[in-house]
Structure 1
Amino acid sequence: ETHKKYLQKLDEISKLQSSCSSFIARQRKRLKEMSSQVNKCTKGSSADDAKTLGNIKEKVKTQEHAFSEMDAFLPKKNGLYLSLVLGNVNVTLLSKQSKFAYKDEYEKFKLCLTVILLLLSFVCLFFVSYRFLDAIFNFLLVWFYGTLTIRESVLITNGSRIKGWWVFHHYISAFLSGVMLTWPDGILYQAFRGQFLAYSLYQNFVQCLQYYYQSGCLYRLRTL
């Protein structure tokens, strides 16, 4: 009986989501038409009319902001990248708790893989010089940055304000890691190998320090 009630509520949620989305789309269309009319009326208007039109513009902005907040909890179409990777799958999380939990899981994933990459780059740079181990390290980099781009796209869909340059940087990192993975062993590879591993070691070490500093700041804020 509880499961039947659960399925019924799921069906109700789906209908409410569709209803809200279509209603917001209609209202946004009307707001766009209203903004266009207001802009036309602004030219050559008197002082009183200009004040009234200004108030209307402020109300339109307030309503648009309210619709944006509503959109954060409604299903939306995936971007091009998510559509190519996941297809037309709804990745919108329905509660703030779920959004925060996914964000926290994203940060833990980054920290865990950063520590592993730090240790592996240290071993490859100072102790072992096998192409097979280098390939494992580069494969981890490809998988790490590729996974980050997917998770960040999901976070952006759910309202996270991740900068575009940050995601683009991970696209480039995934591509360059793929170049390192497929680069055949030879004189040029060995000449570049040490510099690349040293840079990876430095980068991962700095990121670990950053995570440690951020966790310390969060702990101090929670104890205030």
Structure 2
Amino acid sequence: MPQGLKDVVEEWTCLDEEYQELKETHRMYLQKLDEISKLQNNCSSSISSHRRRLKEVSSLVKRCSKGASEEDAKTLDEINEKIKMRPNTFCEMESFLPKKNGLYLSLVLGNVNVTLFSKQSKFAYKDEYEKFKLYLTVILLLFSFVCYVFMSYRFLDAMLNFLLVWYYCTLTIRESILTTNGSRIKGWWVCHHYISAFLSGVMLTWPDGNLYKIFRNQFLAYSLYQSFVQCLQCYYQSGCLYRLRALGERHNMDLTVEGFQSWMWKGLTFLLPFLFFGHFWQLFNSLSLFRMAQLPDCREWQVMMCGLCFLILFMGNFFTTVAVVRHKVNSRNQKPKSL
């Protein structure tokens, strides 16, 4: 047998052996996947069953606590405390189990499973979200600056508004996926991006006319300032979150937000003047648009709609920030009294 043919046969024999090993490895992989799927279903059904039984036990504890002796009441209180701790444990378990998508994700993605099954993949997705948010905010800052200072073309304004629509819509999808995987972004900050996406869409459809030209520079200046403040927030909040996670005071899946939360109090209070100035700028935009809507030559529905969106954003941002600051100040004032 020629030397070249002999080398080919040996190489093929070696490759065939590796192929057989690959087939066996893939067979084991499929087997483990099937086992994992069964375990996931068992865990989900067990958690649901346990939740039902906890409700039954909780109602029994309430009934037995009436007229119980002091020793029995102590035992019942201990059981009740343990019952209250179980839901948090179940939530932690369910963050690693497949779950049905919410209404928004079902409409956008269908029934695709978006649960990430390892802490590394969850944190990697959260880290990618934070980077996406920071990079796009920088791009929006530069784009707004160019449109405001150098170029006054409706086409570029439309591109900026389209980028804003895409950015906020992408944020809502990513945040919904992160919430499914254990992130705890709640309340107003969930709604904020939906309203901002809608506002950007309305601005995109506003036809080029006299009223648009009147409001254009004011909106671009606001967009420039907003992007600047969001860059500050992303930079300082990410550092603060990293420090708090290292100390064990924050959850690993907590996110940066466009507003102010209680955990930002230590070290990030310097952001409050910037935030409040931005909130009142939203109110100023709203009042300006409402005055424009009263003009006789106003025919565009976008004027009133944008004014309403800016008013909702101002009210939500302002009152949420005030509530957080008030709660934090009250809790700090109560600590010395309790000591």
TM-score normalised over the length of structure 2 = 0.63
Q: Which residue of structure 2 lines up, in the alignment, with residue 12 of structure 1?
A: 35
Determine if the alignment matches structure 1 residue 118 to structure 2 residue 118. Answer: no
Q: Distance in 1 between matches of 2:212 and 2:102?
A: 37
Q: Which residue of structure 1 lines up, in the alignment, with residue 72 of structure 2?
A: 49
The alpha-carbon distance between structure 1 residues 167 and 52, as it changes in their structure 2 partners (threshold 3 A), is same
**Structure 1 residue 11: Cα displacement:** 1.3
The alpha-carbon distance between structure 1 residues 222 and 142, as it changes in their structure 2 partners (threshold 3 A), is closer
Q: Which residue of structure 1 lines up, in the alignment, with residue 63 of structure 2?
A: 40
Worse overlay, 7-16 or 174-183: 7-16
- Number of matched pairs: 224
Alignment of 1:175-194 (within 5 A): 175-194=198-217
Letter of the structure 1 residue corresponding to residue 115 of structure 2: T
**Structure 1 residue 173: Cα displacement:** 0.0
Letter of the structure 2 residue corresponding to residue 173 of structure 1: S
Q: Which residue of structure 2 lines up, in the alignment, with residue 99 of structure 1?
A: 122
Q: Which residue of structure 1 lines up, in the alignment, with residue 21 of structure 2?
A: none
Identical aligned residues as a percent? 78
**Structure 1 residue 163: Cα displacement:** 2.1
1:24 to 31, 36, 47: 47
Q: Distance in 2 between matches of 1:133 and 1:151?
A: 27
Q: Distance in 2 between matches of 1:143 and 1:132?
A: 16
The alpha-carbon distance between structure 1 residues 34 and 112, as it changes in their structure 2 partners (threshold 3 A), is same
**Structure 1 residue 213: Cα displacement:** 2.8
**Structure 1 residue 77: Cα displacement:** 1.2
Letter of the structure 2 residue corresponding to residue 38 of structure 1: V
Whose RCO is larger (CA < 8 A, sep 6+)? 1
Q: Which blocks of at least 5 consecutive residues in structure 1 are unaligned? A: none
**Structure 1 residue 87: Cα displacement:** 1.1
**Structure 1 residue 220: Cα displacement:** 7.8
TM-score normalised over the length of structure 1 = 0.94
Q: Distance in 1 between matches of 2:127 and 2:208?
A: 39
Determine if the alignment matches structure 1 residue 174 to structure 2 residue 200. Answer: no
2:111 to 88, 91, 94: 88
Q: Which residue of structure 2 lines up, in the alignment, with residue 198 of structure 1?
A: 221
Q: Distance in 2 between matches of 1:222 and 1:34?
A: 35
The alpha-carbon distance between structure 1 residues 215 and 35, as it changes in their structure 2 partners (threshold 3 A), is closer
Q: Distance in 1 between matches of 2:219 and 2:145?
A: 12
**Structure 1 residue 46: Cα displacement:** 2.1
Q: Distance in 2 between matches of 1:216 and 1:91?
A: 27
Q: Distance in 1 between matches of 2:67 and 2:73?
A: 9
Q: Distance in 1 between matches of 2:102 and 2:239?
A: 35
Q: Deviations over 1:163-218 (max 9, x none)?
A: 22112000000000000001111111111111111011001111112233345557
Letter of the structure 2 residue corresponding to residue 124 of structure 1: C
Letter of the structure 2 residue corresponding to residue 212 of structure 1: Y
Query: Residue 75 of structure 1 aligns to a residue in which SS?
Result: coil
Q: Distance in 1 between matches of 2:131 and 2:238?
A: 11
1:58 to 71, 81, 104: 81
Worse overlay, 78-87 or 39-48: 39-48
Q: Deviations over 1:64-90 (max 9, x none)?
A: 332221111111111111111111111
Letter of the structure 1 residue corresponding to residue 99 of structure 2: K
Letter of the structure 2 residue corresponding to residue 162 of structure 1: I
Q: Distance in 2 between matches of 1:170 and 1:221?
A: 25
**Structure 1 residue 37: Cα displacement:** 1.3
Determine if the alignment matches structure 1 residue 143 to structure 2 residue 135. Answer: no
Determine if the alignment matches structure 1 residue 130 to structure 2 residue 153. Answer: yes
Determine if the alignment matches structure 1 residue 161 to structure 2 residue 167. Answer: no
Q: Distance in 1 between matches of 2:124 and 2:50?
A: 32
- Max radius of gyration: which structure? 2
Query: Residue 190 of structure 1 aligns to a residue in which SS?
Result: helix
**Structure 1 residue 63: Cα displacement:** 2.7
